[in-house]
């Protein structure tokens, strides 16, 4: 039977993330403990069964891990473990020490600004130590329950003296040209700097900000072939091809490194960047509902 979830027809919202999986393991251990007590029926030990049923609610696994934040995640974590503790107490079983520890860390979750320069290894794996000090943006209204399902779950960004870096964490299991538009386009301009600019060279671009802005540089990425191309705005709203040594890596996520040298920008220059998905040159959707990312050249 096919999964009947109302979120993308899969169960990825409730299982698969390391924190979600850990919560399932804790619940499984509690269920196994209850199974060792056949004398504990719902009639003569309702406390144990009520605690189990409470811990089996799907909302716990919705809020654990990446993709959703209730702004009270630490409290949800504690309540889930308290239900499991109540089950062990009702059975007169010792409470496992691990139930006194949070299922996941609740530090530094959600949006944040870059803390320092970064230099990640581009392998498409999104090593958390590499991106630990990067800026981060949660995408797609992930704080709500009935939010629009976003193909991109979160975005990391940062820079060192040679590159600026982006990391796109896509929804688990998506494939270009099947679940995901085949192209990702990055557009940016330099506020306060006078230079030629041009509109997006895509069809069907909505006439609304910020996608109707004028831009200085355009990086196109074909997600299926993992190829890139760079263009620079010319006179009279034209685009001119430029050589680029941009590197990308696609795996668990998409990692991008754009050399500052390809852009010929001055130190301390600020760029404002947006990202949009496209179907073979036709505008599909913006990645960020909130619009623009600001990056600064070292």
pLDDT in tens, 209-220: 999 999 999 999
Lookup: tokens for 212: 């109707």
Provide the whole-model pTM: 0.65
Residue 223's contacts (CB-CB under 8 Å, 6 or more residues apart) are 176, 177, 180, 181, 182, 183, 184, 250, 254
pLDDT, tens digit (0-9, with 9 covering 90-100), for 43-64 = 999 999 999 999 999 889 988 8
Per-residue b or e along 244-275, where b marks 16 or more CB atoms closer than 10 Å to that residue's CB: bebebbbeebbbbbbebebbebeeebebbbbb
Q: What is the pLDDT of residue 290?
A: 62
CA torsion 124-128-132-137 (nearest 10°) is 60
């Amino acid at each position: 039977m096919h999964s009947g979830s109302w979120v993308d027809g899969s169960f990825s919202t409730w299982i698969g993330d390391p924190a979600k999986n850990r919560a399932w393991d804790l619940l499984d251990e509690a269920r196994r403990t209850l199974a060792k007590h056949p004398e504990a029926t719902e009639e003569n030990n309702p406390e144990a069964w009520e605690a189990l049923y409470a811990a089996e609610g799907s909302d716990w696994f919705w809020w654990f891990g990446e993709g959703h934040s209730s702004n009270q995640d630490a409290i949800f974590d504690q309540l889930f473990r308290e239900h499991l503790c109540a089950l062990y107490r009702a059975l007169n079983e010792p409470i496992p020490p691990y139930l006194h520890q949070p299922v996941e860390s609740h530090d530094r979750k959600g949006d944040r600004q870059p803390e320092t320069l970064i230099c990640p290894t581009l392998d498409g794996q999104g090593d958390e130590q590499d991106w630990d000090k990067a800026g981060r943006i949660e995408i797609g209204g992930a704080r709500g329950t009935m939010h629009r399902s976003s193909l991109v779950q979160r975005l990391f960004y940062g820079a060192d003296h040679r590159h600026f870096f982006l990391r796109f964490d896509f929804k688990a299991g998506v494939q270009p040209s099947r679940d995901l538009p085949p192209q990702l386009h990055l557009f940016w301009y330099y506020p306060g700097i006078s230079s030629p600019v041009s509109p997006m060279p895509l069809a069907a671009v909505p006439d609304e900000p910020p996608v109707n802005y004028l831009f200085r540089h355009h990086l196109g990425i074909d997600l299926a072939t993992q190829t890139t191309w760079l263009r620079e705005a010319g006179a009279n709203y034209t685009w001119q091809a430029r050589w680029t040594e941009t590197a990308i890596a696609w795996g668990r996520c998409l990692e991008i490194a754009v050399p500052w040298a390809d852009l010929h920008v001055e130190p301390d220059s600020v760029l404002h960047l947006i990202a949009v998905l496209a179907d073979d040159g036709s505008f599909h959707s913006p990645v960020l509902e909130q619009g623009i990312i600001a990056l600064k050249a070292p």
